[in-house]
Chains A and B, each alone.
Chain A
């Protein structure tokens, strides 16, 4: 027996050695069986007890981890999850559809009948042609209809013809008219008490 092996047998195993032994055993490796640590473990009761506690700790960790996950995913949640998955798979196979704008009750259909399309296209084309033709006609007639005089002159003449000169007498006449004939009978009594324009102007 080599010195190293003898030393290995004498010294107690630590957690690193346990980890190595456990992971080798877990991986199904036969190499772990022949190591000095494995031999020591077989012969040392204290190390065996500690190794048992170590494996218990790992087993507890596994149980705890699985329990934590199962607590989050009870059977009801798994059932809901399955139905979600199946719904998503079903939706994958359905073709995409255009969703109608909420204002309209019926969904927007992208497949109109042929005649409808032609009618709509003809109407749009007719409108465009009509507008274009109208513009062209306007362009042709335009020069003949233009006035011969210059623009400022025309504006001045038009203004002179339409607007009458304002006379100050017309305001007084309007007020006299208003004074002479109160049109609302209900106000006639009140009107009688009110001084008239002519009464006010007499002292002048």
Chain B
């Protein structure tokens, strides 16, 4: 799981150095240079940030806004950034807090409003789906169905379990990093991860989707 990030130590140090440089430029009043340097940091982290925000919010537009807000907030509060902490961890914490705030606000809103049925995330026009040279429409439908079921099961997890599972499994964070991001104890992170997987497994098995065989890319794969 952490293999993807094992080779990422040097970039992380580089990120922290960049963040410190931006902080120094801000202090000296060299704002255009600071912004230019910060743009590199944005480019390096925005895909991962967008992914995390989307996993939390399940809405592309809202995730986009959350990512923008997080980057702007990080830039304006860069004076409070401590060099000993990786920029990635510091920034992700800002992002997650923003996402959780948005979820709270959405829950409050939904108490009063009846939401209209929305298309599945990432659902595009039928012609786009059919005319594309990618996987067949059948595969796309199956994949989308599987993703929806997984997302639905994930949304039924308690907040902490979901956060720990997403950060550990999707983003490849170590339990120490997840601990730094969520403020939970490392052993608590492990317990939440175990419970999240067990619960997900139960939810998807009950749903009948975990025990179905799927055909992906011409290869028959049994999920359980």
Do A and B come from the same complex?
yes
A27 CB–B CB distance under 8 Å: yes
5 A-B interface contacts by CB (under 8 A): A15-B198, A28-B175, A60-B146, A70-B51, A71-B121
Are B147 and A64 closer than 8 Å at their CB atoms?
A: yes
Q: Mark A63-101, 1 if CB is under 8 A from B, else 0.
A: 011111111110001100110111011101100000000
Which one of A20, A61, A70, A89 lies within 8 Å of B35 (CB-CB)?
A: A89
Interface string of A11-39 (1 = CB under 8 A from B): 00001100110111011110000000000
Q: Please report the C-alpha to C-alpha distance between residue A56 and residue B170 in the assembled complex, in whole angstroms.
A: 14
Q: Is the CB of A26 within 8 A of B46?
A: no
B170's partner among A29, A62, A85 (CB-CB below 8 A) is: A62
- Point out the residues of chain A lying under 8 angstroms from B151, CB to CB: 65, 68
**With A65-B147, A67-B147, A82-B42 in contact, is A89–B197 under 8 Å at CB?**
no
In the complex, A23→B191 CA distance in Å?
A: 8
* Interface assignment of B67: CB less than 8 Å from any CB of chain A: yes
Pair A58/B42 contact, Cβ less than 8 Å:
no
Q: Is the interface of A mostly helix, strand, loop or mixed?
A: helix
Name the B residues within 8 Å of A64 (CB-CB): 143, 146-147, 150
Among A16, A22, A73, the one with the most B-chain Cβ atoms within 10 Å of its Cβ is A73
User: Which chain B residue shows the least CB distance to A27?
Assistant: B175
Interface of B is mostly: helix
Shortest beta-carbon distance from A148 to chain B in Å: 75
Residues of B within 8 A of A78 (CB): 46-47, 50
CB of A82 within 8 A of CB of B46, answer yes
For A92, what are the chain B residues with a Cβ–Cβ distance below 8 Å?
A: 72, 75-76
In the assembled complex, the Cα of A129 lies from the Cα of B170 at a distance in Å of 77
Q: Number of B interface residues, CB 8 Å? A: 53
A53 at the interface (CB under 8 A from B): yes
Contact A57 B147 (CB under 8 A): no
Closest residue of B by beta carbon distance from A26: B1
User: Which one of B50, B76, B223 lies within 8 Å of A73 (CB-CB)?
Assistant: B50
* B174 and A16 contact, CB distance less than 8 A: no
Distance in angstroms between the alpha carbons of A73 and B189 in the assembled complex: 29
Within the complex, what minimum Cβ distance (angstroms) separates B201 from chain A? 5
B193 touches A27 (CB 8 A): yes
When C-beta atoms are compared, the residue in chain B nearest to A73 turns out to be B50
In the complex, chain B residues whose CB is within 8 Å of the CB of A85: 42, 46, 68, 71-72
Asked whether A53 lies within 8 Å of B223 as measured between CB atoms, the reply is yes
Looking at the complex, which one of A53, A72, A77 makes contact with B121 (CB distance below 8 Å)? A72
Inter-subunit contact B224/A57 (CB<8 Å): yes
Kindly state whether residue B2 has any CB partner on chain A within 8 Å: yes
B87: chain A residues at CB < 8 Å are none
The residue of chain B having its C-beta at the shortest distance from the C-beta of A70 within the complex is B51
Bound-state CA distance A60–B175 (Å) is 21
A89 touches B193 (CB 8 A): no
Given contacts A27-B175, A54-B201, A58-B197, 4 further A-B contacts (CB under 8 A): A20-B194, A62-B169, A81-B68, A92-B75
Are A57 and B35 also in contact (CB < 8 A) when A28-B2, A28-B175, A85-B68 are?
no
Q: How far is the CB of B187 from chain A (nearest CB, A)?
A: 9
Chain A residue with minimal CB distance to B34?
A89
Cβ–Cβ contact A73 & B35, under 8 A: no
Question: Which of A23, A26, A86 has most B Cβ within 10 Å?
Answer: A23
Q: Provide the bound-state CA to CA distance between A175 and B60, in Å.
A: 90
Cα(A89)–Cα(B147), bound, Å: 35
Neighbouring A residues of B193 by C-beta, 8 Å: 23, 26-27
In the assembled complex, which residues on chain B have CB atoms less than 8 Å from the CB atom of A22?
Answer: 197
Within 8 A of A (CB), among B72-116: 72, 75-76
Query: Are A65 and B223 in contact, CB atoms less than 8 angstroms apart?
Result: no
